[in-house]
A and B are shown apart, each in its own frame.
Chain A
Amino acid sequence: MNVLITEYLRINLDTEKWECRCCGNVHGSARDNYKRGLLVYDRDPSEIHKPLLDIKKYDRTYAPDPTWCRILEYYCPSCGVMVEAEYLPPGHPPVRDIELDIDSLKLQWKDREEVKELVSAPDLALQKVKLQREIHSKIHNHSHDGEHDHKNGKTL
């Protein structure tokens, strides 16, 4: 049985291996850092977030400072999908971002049915925003019939 861990990673509970969700490549032991099974590239961030302002005129151009920030791009060695984009200062040790207890994971999934695709769930935050915007627009529309006392900084 597989357990989906990210958009591009799963753990095969039977073999206890990390696998690529795009091509099935085996990245290594699920008890180890999955990054060890991937390829890494040190990307200059200004290639991704390109300068929008004239670099002849300005130092700050909306591009990150490559002496402060690098992007470590992690690729599947078999299909080349980009699994992670990790932003770090130059030379900073990559973070062991996922470290699961495989024995308890197996126990936990013993009675669960396999999940093959991300279980969808509503964007509740967005729903709340939309609801609130409705309330605000009601208050605002109401204000035009009512008192409009700007001198006191009030908008009734």
Chain B
Amino acid sequence: MHEVMSKEDQGLMDKFLADNTLFLGPDPEIMRNHQLTPRSAMEEEILQKGIDPHQVHHIRGLLNSALGESFTMVNQMGAAPGAKWGDLVTGIYTAQGDLSMIAPNGIIAFAACCFYPIRFIMKNWVNDPTVGVKEGDGFIHNDARYGGIHNTDQSMMIPLFYKGELICWLSTTIHEGENGACEPGGLPASAESKYDEGIKMSPFKVVENFELKRDLVTFLQNSVRDPRLQLEDMKVKLHAVLRLRERVLAILDQFGRDALVGTLRHHLEAVEIEMRRRISEMPDGTTRVVQFMDSSLRESALQKISCAITVKGDRMIMDFRGSAPQFLNRSVNANIASFKAALCTGLLQNIWPDLPHTMAVLSPIEIITDRNSILDAEGEMPQAMSLMPLFKGCVVWTIPMNKFNYSLPKRYSAVIASQYDQAATFIYGGLTQHGDITGNFCADINGNGQGARSDADGEHSISPVFGFMCDTGEHEISEEDTPIIRLGAQRLAKDRIGWGKYRAGMGYEQIATARGSGLWGFMTGCEGSKFPSAQGLFGGYSCPAYQLLKIKDINIFKELEKNPNVVEVFDIVKLMNEQPIPNATYSSNDMGMTFELCNEGEIYMICQGSGGGYGDVLERDPKLVMKDLSEDLMSHENAKDIYKVVYDETSLVVDELATLNLRASYRKERIARGKPFDQFCAEWVEPEPPVNLPYFGSWGDPKVIYGTHIGQRIVMDGDKLQGMFMLNPKDVKISQLQAKIKELEKSAKSN
């Protein structure tokens, strides 16, 4: 019936549709495509002419130092705690919005997200007469649905024009923290829909003629708990990106438009070629890993992430089908663009850190997911705590890629087990001692323990999973700004170790209370209290489970006044086991906690975690075991029980022969108790998840997905996933208590 439209009619139709689109929401055409765009006409023309590799190298060096300079500006001037400790980036993009280069020390994932909003701006605002893209404009954005890790990160993006022509885009992004969500600090675990997540900036123009538009800034300040922070960092980001602009203009003046455009595009293509070359060095085949997240941050819920990496020639396919379905009313969902940014980060942090930090590393990789899964969430669902699946995405490479790459005659980086992958830090909010309202997070997030290496123990509290470049901050500074008082001084968490031939790097204890505020509270967004999170490699064990400990109903400052020696040492295990503070309520809880008020002097305690161990514990050099003992990293019980070393407890002198014999006999014990695999599977494997386990994801068959929806287990096809609606944990608790009351009343009557 339909006739082919003429070009003119098609144009009119397109214009009609564009004018009548009611809402320019996140655009799947943009958001689902992580690949480089085809060369633009300008890029094609320049690259066809050929470019001078020496000049490319030279310009790349100049761009790197310019990006580094603007990074340092934000790092030194930014008001957000995240800016101070390195949770930021500056980047340069092609005119089409492909991320070409980032500051050498910047957060990869942030920049790996900004090309989505830039593509959105190019598609929608350039030709829109009510918006437009002109010299001197700047655009802001924070909604992760349009590209981003989570809504607490805010970006400033500016187009760079040269002789009237759009040449490239520049950006800077900071983890700002506070963003006016239903809980302070920018990471609202209790968000039940996207409307609980605070300000939701689709990309819009907030700068004209190189100046912030005060009316819009005021609107944004009015939307968050920390208006001063909002203004200051918008200024900082703008000034840093303008400095970057000056530097790039100087490069353009010196080398010309073709040289810069050619360099940006060539850089991307060269990285893509290098990626394909490295993939083709790997063996053909498939390696697999499953990861488990054990909490929705509101209730315990075991969610699977299933990953199969297939290599065939220079193709790599990552298949995440079979992973958990998304939650409709829990914040631990991630959209696919955010998840890919985490993958890009993880590849550059864990596998090939020597590759340039650009989106082109991910471009040649094909990624397959189930729509509406926890890592490809769509719709109105909240995703404020997307960090949970995203951190898994950062480390998901470590095990399957090491199984591919161990054999290679040329290797590019060390073999390392998984880093600890939880956001183990206090998020806070309330009134400061200066009377200001604030909300943010502590830099302790940046101290994840490193996984063990094939030839050495992991480093303690090395960095966050999303960047090598972040520091763990200084508590004296945050104590001047907030009522948070640190009672423990970041001691390493003894015995909480990923064991192995080489042990993982450990995490430190964080013991916090509040003083001098009328209204203060904490939250934590962490999993791994039932099911350990950081996986070991080649026979190494994972990290342990971690808990959140509380000492409530006391004021530690009053207790210390009464008796300065009431607490001998602020050590979590000692405090909890010995319970030295009289009349306090001690409790051990899941690591995930929605915002909770902390009265003056009440104590909250968590740990940064250990990475995964490497290799068989019986192969650990007894000297290293003694070293761990002498550094008080572990107890004698574990030295003997886990590592099977015979030694003198006082002198720490090892009885080598006795150790050899003990280990040999323990290997025999293993052989005696182990069962042949097929027999073991026949006895052990169940057809579906245990009935009492709130399980989400596939079990055996990746196409069959289990979930719990409105309190009932359901089974779905992987390609027809629906979101899971969770009951209010308080309602669940109330109905449990009501049932108990009924039972008690019944038995009282019958007596």
State how many angstroms separate the Cβ of B640 from the closest Cβ of chain A: 12
Q: Which of B302, B411, B590, B686 contacts A119 (CB 8 A)?
A: B411
The complex places the Cα of A152 from the Cα of B438 at a distance, in Å, of 12
Interface size of B in residues (CB-CB distance below 8 Å): 122
Chain A residue with minimal CB distance to B642? Answer: A48
Q: Which of B72, B294, B546 contacts A68 (CB 8 A)?
A: B294
Q: Which of A93, A99, A100 contacts B700 (CB 8 A)?
A: A93
Across the interface, which residues of A come within 8 angstroms of B642, CB to CB?
Answer: 48
Chain B residue with minimal CB distance to A80? Answer: B667
The complex places the Cα of A94 from the Cα of B455 at a distance, in Å, of 28
Across the interface, which residues of A come within 8 angstroms of B668, CB to CB?
Answer: 80
Whether B532 pairs with A101 at a CB distance below 8 angstroms is no
Across the interface, which residues of B come within 8 angstroms of A37, CB to CB?
Answer: 677
Chain A residue with minimal CB distance to B687? Answer: A91
- Contacting A at CB under 8 A, from B675-689, are 675-678, 680-681, 684-686, 689
**Of A108, A129, A151, most B-chain CB atoms within 10 Å:** A129
Whether A87 pairs with B535 at a CB distance below 8 angstroms is yes
Whether B79 pairs with A122 at a CB distance below 8 angstroms is no
How many interface contacts (CB-CB < 8 Å) are there between A and B? 311
Across the interface, which residues of B come within 8 angstroms of A5, CB to CB?
Answer: 403, 406-407
State how many angstroms separate the Cβ of A120 from the closest Cβ of chain B: 7
Across the interface, which residues of B come within 8 angstroms of A112, CB to CB?
Answer: 409
The complex places the Cα of A73 from the Cα of B690 at a distance, in Å, of 21
Whether A40 pairs with B674 at a CB distance below 8 angstroms is yes
State how many angstroms separate the Cβ of A118 from the closest Cβ of chain B: 6
Task: From known contacts A60-B529, A81-B667, A125-B349, infer whether A98 and B287 are also in contact, taking CB-CB under 8 Å.
Answer: yes
The complex places the Cα of A92 from the Cα of B640 at a distance, in Å, of 31
Whether A152 pairs with B531 at a CB distance below 8 angstroms is no
Across the interface, which residues of B come within 8 angstroms of A153, CB to CB?
Answer: 79, 228-229, 232, 481
Across the interface, which residues of B come within 8 angstroms of A140, CB to CB?
Answer: 474
Q: Which of B471, B532, B546 contacts A69 (CB 8 A)?
A: B532
Chain A residue with minimal CB distance to B287? Answer: A98
Whether A81 pairs with B539 at a CB distance below 8 angstroms is yes
Across the interface, which residues of A come within 8 angstroms of B471, CB to CB?
Answer: 132-133, 136
A110 at interface by CB-CB < 8 Å:
no
Q: Which of A41, A71, A104, A119 contacts B408 (CB 8 A)?
A: A119
Across the interface, which residues of A come within 8 angstroms of B459, CB to CB?
Answer: 126, 129
B469 at interface by CB-CB < 8 Å:
yes
Across the interface, which residues of A come within 8 angstroms of B727, CB to CB?
Answer: none
Q: Mark B475-489, 1 if CB is under 8 A from A, else 0.
A: 001001100000000
Whether A52 pairs with B532 at a CB distance below 8 angstroms is no
Q: Which of A49, A108, A121 contacts B411 (CB 8 A)?
A: A121
Across the interface, which residues of A come within 8 angstroms of B86, CB to CB?
Answer: 132, 136
State how many angstroms separate the Cβ of A145 from the closest Cβ of chain B: 13
Whether A3 pairs with B407 at a CB distance below 8 angstroms is yes
15 contacting pairs across A/B (C-beta < 8 A):
A40-B677, A48-B541, A53-B576, A57-B579, A62-B544, A75-B670, A91-B685, A97-B289, A105-B285, A119-B410, A120-B455, A132-B469, A153-B481, A155-B84, A155-B477
Residue positions of A touching B, CB distance < 8 A: 3-8, 33, 35-42, 45, 48-50, 52-54, 57-65, 67-69, 71, 73-75, 77-85, 87-101, 104-105, 108, 112-113, 115, 118-126, 128-129, 132-133, 135-136, 139-140, 150-156
Known contacts A7-B501, A123-B416; 17 further A-B pairs (Cβ under 8 A)? A5-B403, A8-B615, A38-B674, A58-B588, A60-B589, A62-B545, A77-B674, A89-B531, A91-B689, A93-B681, A93-B699, A93-B700, A125-B353, A126-B450, A128-B469, A139-B76, A153-B481
